[in-house]
Chains A and B, each alone.
Chain A
């Protein structure tokens, strides 16, 4: 643990041990990525030698170009982008919609149906991959992107979260006034409720995006042709290569992680915020 012995509460003095702990945390969080970059810019033989070479080399473009030769990596990036964006956007929109309905509309069975939604959160669907695969086979969706996207649009937690959020921040009086004016439910949602919760929906969408981007098991089962691979499966294909070159695998790994890192630079703060807001408050 990190005990901080006698500190005056009001002082801004921070015990060095704290900085050590924090620094350690940052270091361990980032080091594996750094190492990935080092290997991606040198090669396998350098990685498999002691003492370790910790500085990047100049081999980046060579290895990267090999990666693009061996697997259709650009296509894989596009595939990942399409799937992750569709899921992110889809989840954000659909969860806001359903959350709005549960929070602000009254209809018969509302509470029961919402309870069902909550219960579904406990169902781990990953273990039904066998029948899920058979369903895809029947729909002729094996080896397609929609097999990844459509099932990914469900998020019970997202609905739960949006309902809570909408319940808190959307103004009832405003809604009633709009109703009196003759607005339809859709208009109320679209023009009043959604704009207010758009930041939260965005965060939801971001998490959906990140999770979809990193998803491995289901794409691994469902995708067969290299043109359909997402970047995660493309990395596995690079690792497969019997003429095993770690430099190649690391180069592909780095290229696959880069888009998310770039995105993270832009929206990382939002992600942090999202986690902080999504926490249970007792």
Chain B
């Protein structure tokens, strides 16, 4: 920590060497201030990422031998139905959780924007409660609520005359269950994000539309949604990146599965598959290869999103 330099001594002027010292310190100050970030990022962010590519070229067992196998891990991965299954599961869960979530958030933001609620802050805070709740805890709660024989959801279904659904048994059921968990956590957060952006939209736009006879739905479609386009893109990107990394819910939601999330890997996501291979079976090389696959996916999706964003930007007046 740089201590405040005593620039003034009793004589008034700092000595020459002190001035030089100070000059050097001053010039270095900015670099010192940003150094922690770069240092930490290099050690714990960039280097591991590069190292992942390296490890993926090996058959790397932490308590056994290590041997160079070139691209074999990748060709194995392409041939591995478990990988493709995990990819499908990840994608399916992502779609099921993101789309309704963002739609509901949009709707809620529109509603909250229009009305002057007395307990506005309270409503907003209650929507954030899922965000601060422990992921592990809520997964276990939801898993019980979705239980085949005794879960509340199935109880309601029974009351309505339907048969009980075994959510953890089928791929769709387990994806739905996990999607609900993820959506539950993030909908309120995204609502607030949209709401904030909406508050920048001038009221007179809405008033003019109302005068013209547009009802709420038309206002929503023609004012709200277009104004929110950039932030919607932002939330889609972040929820995509987040969606690729869903781990805790599949791990804890399905007691039958252990690390496979289901007897037939119904809900095993890519990250869970990575964990299973690397830390359950101790195939570090194969796990790293899965990491590389995840990285490629992220790059592709980010590229797509980037293209969309620039196209949208160029459309805007």
Q: Check if A and B associate.
A: yes
A281-B29 CB under 8 A given contacts A5-B216, A35-B145, A272-B192? no
Task: Tell me which residues across on chain B come within 8 A of A30, comparing CB atoms.
Answer: 126, 129
Task: Tell me which residues across on chain A come within 8 A of B127, comparing CB atoms.
Answer: 25-26, 29
A275-B134 CB under 8 A given contacts A29-B127, A150-B44? no
A168 adjacent to chain B (CB < 8 Å): no
B197 adjacent to chain A (CB < 8 Å): yes
A101-B34 CB under 8 A given contacts A127-B274, A185-B29? yes
- The answer to whether B134 touches A182 (Cβ under 8 A) is no
- The answer to whether B252 touches A272 (Cβ under 8 A) is no
A217-B247 CB under 8 A given contacts A123-B45, A253-B141? yes
- The answer to whether A184 touches B123 (Cβ under 8 A) is no
Q: Determine the distance from Cα of A222 to Cα of B279 in the docked complex, in whole angstroms.
A: 11
Determine how close the nearest CB of chain B comes to the CB of A281; give it in whole angstroms.
Answer: 5
B31 adjacent to chain A (CB < 8 Å): yes
- The answer to whether B49 touches A128 (Cβ under 8 A) is yes
B15 adjacent to chain A (CB < 8 Å): no
Determine how close the nearest CB of chain B comes to the CB of A116; give it in whole angstroms.
Answer: 8
Task: Tell me which residues across on chain B come within 8 A of A28, comparing CB atoms.
Answer: 184
Binary A-proximity of B260-302 (CB < 8 A = 1, otherwise 0)? 0000000000010011001100001001101110110010001
CB contacts under 8 Å to B, within A254-282, are 254, 256-257, 260-261, 263-264, 268-269, 271-272, 275-282
CB < 8 Å neighbour of A135 from B40, B48, B128, B292: B48
A50 adjacent to chain B (CB < 8 Å): yes
- The answer to whether B40 touches A279 (Cβ under 8 A) is no
Task: Tell me which residues across on chain B come within 8 A of A154, comparing CB atoms.
Answer: 37, 40-41, 44-45
Closest residue on chain A to residue B188 by CB atoms: A29
- The answer to whether A21 touches B111 (Cβ under 8 A) is yes
Task: Tell me which residues across on chain B come within 8 A of A12, comparing CB atoms.
Answer: 116
B89 adjacent to chain A (CB < 8 Å): no
Task: Tell me which residues across on chain B come within 8 A of A5, comparing CB atoms.
Answer: 215-216
CB contacts under 8 Å to A, within B81-131, are 103, 107-108, 110-112, 114-117, 121, 123-131
CB contacts under 8 Å to B, within A121-137, are 122-135
- The answer to whether B193 touches A275 (Cβ under 8 A) is yes
Determine how close the nearest CB of chain A comes to the CB of B100; give it in whole angstroms.
Answer: 12
In the complex, how many residues of chain B place their beta carbon closer than 8 angstroms to a beta carbon of chain A? Answer: 114
B67 adjacent to chain A (CB < 8 Å): no
Task: Tell me which residues across on chain B come within 8 A of A151, comparing CB atoms.
Answer: 40, 44-45
Task: Tell me which residues across on chain A come within 8 A of B131, comparing CB atoms.
Answer: 210
Q: Determine the distance from Cα of A130 to Cα of B103 in the docked complex, in whole angstroms.
A: 36
Task: Tell me which residues across on chain B come within 8 A of A130, comparing CB atoms.
Answer: 52, 55, 274, 278, 284, 287-288, 291
Closest residue on chain B to residue A107 by CB atoms: B30
Determine how close the nearest CB of chain B comes to the CB of A123; give it in whole angstroms.
Answer: 6
B138 adjacent to chain A (CB < 8 Å): yes
Count the A-B residue pairs with Cβ separation under 8 angstroms: how many?
325
- The answer to whether A127 touches B184 (Cβ under 8 A) is no
Q: Determine the distance from Cα of A102 to Cα of B5 in the docked complex, in whole angstroms.
A: 23
CB < 8 Å neighbour of A7 from B142, B216, B248: B216
Q: Determine the distance from Cα of A106 to Cα of B25 in the docked complex, in whole angstroms.
A: 14
A257-B111 CB under 8 A given contacts A5-B216, A50-B155, A125-B49? no
- The answer to whether A282 touches B144 (Cβ under 8 A) is no
Determine how close the nearest CB of chain A comes to the CB of B221; give it in whole angstroms.
Answer: 9
- The answer to whether A129 touches B192 (Cβ under 8 A) is no
- The answer to whether B144 touches A214 (Cβ under 8 A) is no
A231 adjacent to chain B (CB < 8 Å): yes
- The answer to whether B145 touches A279 (Cβ under 8 A) is no
- The answer to whether A48 touches B147 (Cβ under 8 A) is yes
B137 adjacent to chain A (CB < 8 Å): yes
Determine how close the nearest CB of chain B comes to the CB of A74; give it in whole angstroms.
Answer: 17
- The answer to whether B52 touches A127 (Cβ under 8 A) is yes
Closest residue on chain B to residue A188 by CB atoms: B29
A4-B108 CB under 8 A given contacts A35-B141, A124-B241? no
- The answer to whether B216 touches A33 (Cβ under 8 A) is no
Q: Determine the distance from Cα of A218 to Cα of B59 in the docked complex, in whole angstroms.
A: 23
A225 adjacent to chain B (CB < 8 Å): no
Task: Tell me which residues across on chain B come within 8 A of A89, comparing CB atoms.
Answer: none
B160 adjacent to chain A (CB < 8 Å): no
- The answer to whether A102 touches B115 (Cβ under 8 A) is no
- The answer to whether B137 touches A257 (Cβ under 8 A) is yes
A135-B43 CB under 8 A given contacts A32-B184, A101-B33? yes
- The answer to whether B22 touches A4 (Cβ under 8 A) is no
| 23 A-B residue pairs with CB within 8 Å | A4-B114, A29-B184, A100-B33, A105-B29, A110-B30, A123-B45, A126-B247, A128-B45, A128-B52, A131-B52, A133-B279, A135-B43, A135-B47, A150-B40, A151-B44, A182-B7, A184-B22, A216-B136, A217-B271, A249-B140, A261-B133, A275-B192, A280-B230
Q: A127-B295, A271-B128, A278-B196 are in contact. List 17 more A-B contacts (CB 8 A).
A: A25-B108, A25-B126, A116-B38, A124-B295, A127-B245, A127-B271, A130-B52, A134-B51, A134-B284, A151-B44, A151-B45, A153-B36, A184-B2, A210-B131, A257-B134, A275-B193, A281-B200
Instruction: Across the A-B interface, give the 3 residue pairs with the lowest CB-CB distance, nearest first.
Output: A253-B137, A131-B51, A4-B216
